[in-house]
Structure 1
Amino acid sequence: MVNSTQVSFFTLSAYFDTGLFKYLYFMIILSVYILIICSNLLLIVVICMNRSLHEPMYMFLCSLFVNELYGSSGLFPFLLTQILSDIHTVPASLCYLQIFCVYSYGGVELLNLAVMSYDRYLAICYPLQYNTFMTYNKIAMLIVLSWLLMFFVHTCTAYLIVPLQLCGNIIQKVYCDYHSIVKLACYDTTMNNVYGLIISAFFVFGPLIVIFYTYMRILKVCFSGSKQTRQKAVSTCTPHLASLLNFSFGACFEILQSRFNMNSVPNMLRIFLSLYFLTCPPLFNPVMYGLKLSKIFVICKSLITNVGC
């Protein structure tokens, strides 16, 4: 029997020998990481440096892009190191730190999307009172609360898994995962499972209910409103909905994979889908918002043109 005091490292068994192809995979993943950093940083700088973008929608977007840099940095350097390594082990302390980063990233992302849907709801359903409702103090409170809540919740998560007595140290993934470690526990994990259900109820279903409610109200206003109202809703809500669906797809697969046997899914596809919610939203969100929101697109275009000159 192996207990928590004896487990000094975990072995990630989802990696397999790719021979010389590992250098190709390394270059592909490094390119994706550089693209994520550059695109998200560009939009953060554009929003912060331009007073015309100091509006609620863009401030929430800035928080979203910062979170995507945070989540990517919790995964990609780790992946790059593991791809070049022949022994896929990770110290227990680093594994727990990665779990904290990955799960807090996912929580902040969902809360950010819920806050953004609430902002669009106020802008479209109550345009005359919008500036009264969405003050700078309220914007700051919503952003800070989203981050602090998730950091607190997943600090508690870490306190629950670190003392677990484990009967093994093999994780069947390419990165550290909370449920994979809970499955290794020698004894009853009822407290961990109950805690997981409570967190899911409040911080997964809660934001999804907010998003569903706000979009039902937005749709109601669009169907009964003018053509101009519908155009405004489509232009501002389309990238948000695309972002939500993109993140939800990856998160749902990850939840299913953590709780059910997915051995029937090909190994490469399973690895790709397990990484989806950590790679695709940070990669595609800056592109979607940069192209769909005219203010950001015009400023980015002029900035790139000036740099090129």
Structure 2
Amino acid sequence: MNNGTFSQPSTLSLNFGVVTSMRYFYCVIVFFGYTLNLTLNLAVIATIIRHESLHQSMYVFIAALCFNGVYGSSCFYPSLFIHLLQETHSISYIACLTQVFCIHTYVSYEMSILAAMAYDRYVCICNPLRYNIIMTLPTVFKLLAGAYVQPTVLFNVHFLLTIRLPLCSSEILKIYCDNWSVVRLSCIDTTVNNYFGTLVATIVIGLMPLFTFYTYVKIFKVCLRSSKEVRQKALQICSPHLICIVNFLTASLFEILLYRFIPDKLPYELRVLMSVQPFVIPPFLNPVIYGMKMKEIKVKIVLLLRKTDFKYPINI
């Protein structure tokens, strides 16, 4: 700060700590993890796009979830890989803000898509006779449009409040940039940012999961009055979705509570592990659960691989 003005840092430092002691080993893990996530998610997306029999609401939502997994992985893995190779772990201010935007929209899209999927499950089980009438492809695309537009608009306001802040420090607590890590470096009062951040977190991590769990309460009530066969079918349809949302919600809540209230109370290694979980586990878990547990997708993936082998025979 000079003559009453603030100087915005050109670069920010990331807190890699003891991670650098085995950085080449971690580079291999990051490269393998990113490749695996891309392969699994793109395989499911390609299978759903290629086969018209899978152009139904359930599978369109799964494709959207896998696409978001590709987006989330690409927001995190490449940057981490590059910083692990560097001696000094610094990131430009513009690159940091870009990562902030990508990471937070990824989280918001994930919760929105899962909420839309919950509605799809609700209609499928609680109103099966009208399911094909209600959940038409135009309706699905409208729900997905809302799942992308609403979080984007909401976070854009949050993001604009962040980039207006002058920064007096340059040390990020994590191995990547997120909104709170940047806001805490500010030289001025951040009350407005805190209030609006609480509102965004309440909507994304509070209201959307609440809506999802409400739909499942309605589903379970219907299942209790139905036959054993209906209950088994409902469990088969709903269990992958519940696993995904509970895992993502747990990681997100831990992340918010940890770095907002007790950033120095837990060991560094545990803090790193929990902070990267939302970008490592869900993009891997979603295609595995849906691609391997849902018979229709699994069969189509096998057929796709067989066709590929046929087109490119070993003996020419």
Smaller-chain TM-score bracket: over 0.9
Shift of 1:161: 0.9
Q: TM-score, normalised by structure 2?
A: 0.93
Cα distance between partner residues in 2 of 1:133 and 1:211: 18
CA distance in 2, matches of 1:291, 1:17: 33
Residues of 2 paired with 1:32 and 1:108: CA distance? 21
Q: How does 1:28-43 map to 2 (within 5 A)?
A: 28-43=29-44
In structure 2, runs of 5+ residues without a counterpart are 311-316
Confirm or deny that 1:276 pairs with 2:281: no
Correspondence for 1:169:
170
Task: Tell me the SS of whatever aligns to 1:170.
Answer: coil
Matched-pair contact (CA < 8 Å) for 2:101–2:159: yes
What 5-or-longer segments of structure 1 have no aligned partner? none
User: 1:88 maps to what in 2?
Assistant: 89
2:233 corresponds to 1:242: no
Alpha-carbon distance in structure 2 between the residues aligned to 1:82 and 1:10: 12
Map 1:47-126 to 2 at 5 A: 47-126=48-127
Match of 1:14 in 2: 16
CA contact (8 A) 2:41 2:67 kept: yes
Amino acid at match of 1:134: M
Q: How far apart, in 1, do the equivalents of 2:270 and 2:206 lie? A: 27
8 Å CA contact retained: 1:249, 1:277? no
Structure 1 position 16, deviation (Å): 3.4
Q: CA RMSD in A?
A: 1.5
Identity of counterpart residues, as a percentage? 36
- SS in structure 1 opposite 2:20? coil
Displaced runs of 4 or more, over 4 A = 2-5
What aligned pairs does 1:200-219 form with structure 2 within 5 A after superposition? 200-219=201-220
Change (3 A) 1:235 1:17: closer
* Separation of aligned partners in 2, 1:65 and 1:58: 10
Alpha-carbon distance between aligned partners in 1 of 2:197 and 2:156, rounded to the nearest angstrom: 13
Return the alpha-carbon distance in structure 1 between the equivalents of residues 17 and 150 of structure 2. Answer: 33
Q: Tell me: CA distance 1:50–1:4, structure 2 relative to 1, closer, same or farther (3 Å).
A: farther
Conserved 8 A contact 1:15-1:173: no
Equivalents in 2 of 1:42, 1:4: separation in Å? 49
Q: Which deviates the most, 269-278 or 181-190?
A: 181-190
In structure 2, distance between residues paired with 1:74 and 1:90? 14
